[in-house]
Chains A and B, each alone.
Chain A
Amino acid sequence: MVTKEEVMKIAILSKLFVAEDEIDKLTKDMGEIISFADTINNAADEGSKFDNINNLSNVLREDEVVPSLDREKILQNAKDSDDGCFMVKNIMK
Chain B
Amino acid sequence: MSESKIVQLHESLVKKEISCRELTEKYIGAIEKDNAELNAYVTVTADEALKTAEAVDKKIASGEEIALLEGIPMTLKDNISTDGIRTTCCSKILEDYVPIYDATVWDILKKQNAVLLGKTNMDEFAMGSSCETSYFGGAKNPHNTGHVAGGSSGGVASAVGGNIAVYGLGSDTGGSIRQPASFCGIVGLKPTYGAVSRFGLIAYASSLDQIGPITTNVEDAAIVFDAIAQYDKMDSTSRGRQGSPVYDSLKNDIKGMKIGIAKEYLEGIRDDVRQAVEDAAKVYQSLGAEIVYFDLPSLKYALPVYYIIACAEASSNLGRYDGIRYGYKAENYKDLNDMVKKTRSTGFGEEVKRRILLGTYVLSSGYYDAYYKKAQNLRGTIVKAFKDAFESCDVILAPTVPMTAFENGHAVSDPVETYLTDICTVPVNICGLPGVSVPCGFNAKGMPIGMQLIGNTFGEAKILNAAWQYENAANQFRAAGFGVKL
Interface residues on A, range: 35 or more
The answer to the question of B110 belonging to the interface, with a C-beta cut-off of 8 Å to chain A, is no
Partner of A89, one of B236, B335, B341: B335
The answer to whether B415 and A29 touch across the interface, beta carbons within 8 angstroms, is: yes
Provided the pairs A29-B415, A50-B376 are in contact, do residues A89 and B339 lie with their beta carbons within 8 angstroms? yes
Residue of A nearest to B414 (CB): A32
Contact across chains for A16 and B345 when beta carbons are under 8 A apart = yes
A11 and B357: CB pair below 8 A? yes
Task: Determine if B360 and A79 form an interchain contact, defined as CB atoms under 8 angstroms apart.
Answer: no
Shortest distance in angstroms between B211's beta carbon and chain A's nearest beta carbon? 15
Please determine whether B353 and A16 come into contact, CB atoms closer than 8 angstroms.
yes
Nearest CB in chain B: distance from A7 CB, A: 7
- The residue that A29 contacts in the complex, of B236, B305, B354, with Cβ under 8 A, is B354
Q: Are A48 and B380 touching (Cβ within 8 A)? A: yes
- Chain B CB within 10 A, most for which of A14, A34, A80: A14
Contact between chains at A33 and B416 (CB < 8 Å)? yes
Given contacts A16-B356, A54-B237, contact A37 B304 (CB under 8 A): yes
Are A33 and B415 interface neighbours, CB within 8 A? yes
A23 to B286, CA, bound (A): 57
* Chain B residues with CB under 8 A of A65: none
Confirm or deny: B144 has a beta carbon within 8 angstroms of a beta carbon on chain A: no
Contacts of B335 in A (CB 8 A): 89, 91
Of B48-56, B221-229, B320-328, the stretch lying at the interface with chain A is B320-328
Q: Is B432 an interface residue (CB 8 A)?
A: yes
CB neighbours of B437 from chain A (8 A): none
* A34-B301 contact in complex given A78-B326, A86-B325, A89-B336, C-beta closer than 8 Å: no
Task: Encode contact with A along B191-204: 1 for CB under 8 Å, 0 otherwise.
Answer: 01110000000000
Q: How far is the CB of A33 from chain B (nearest CB, A)?
A: 6
Known contacts A29-B415, A37-B308, A40-B304; is A48 also within 8 Å of B326 by CB? Answer: no
| Contact indicator B357/A17 (Cβ below 8 Å) | no
Q: Mark A68-89, 1 if CB is under 8 A from B, else 0.
A: 0110011011111000001011
A59/B345 in contact, CB under 8 A? no
Within 8 Å by CB of B98, from A11, A29, A41, A77, lies: A77
Is there contact, CB below 8 Å, between A40 and B375?
A: yes
Determine the distance from Cα of A26 to Cα of B354 in the docked complex, in whole angstroms: 8
- B383 part of interface (Cβ distance < 8 Å): yes
Show the binding face of B for A, using Cβ within 8 Å. 97-98, 100-101, 192-194, 207, 233, 236-237, 239, 298, 300-301, 303-305, 307-308, 315, 319, 322-327, 329, 333, 335-337, 339-342, 344-345, 348, 353-354, 356-358, 360-362, 364, 370-371, 374-381, 383-384, 415-416, 419, 431-432, 457
A residues bordering B, Cβ < 8 Å? 2, 6-7, 10-11, 13-18, 26, 29-30, 32-34, 36-41, 43, 45-46, 48-50, 52-54, 56, 59, 61, 69-70, 73-74, 76-80, 86, 88-89, 91
Can you report 8 residue pairs joining A to B where beta carbons are below 8 Å apart? A10-B364, A14-B353, A36-B304, A49-B377, A53-B193, A54-B194, A69-B100, A91-B335
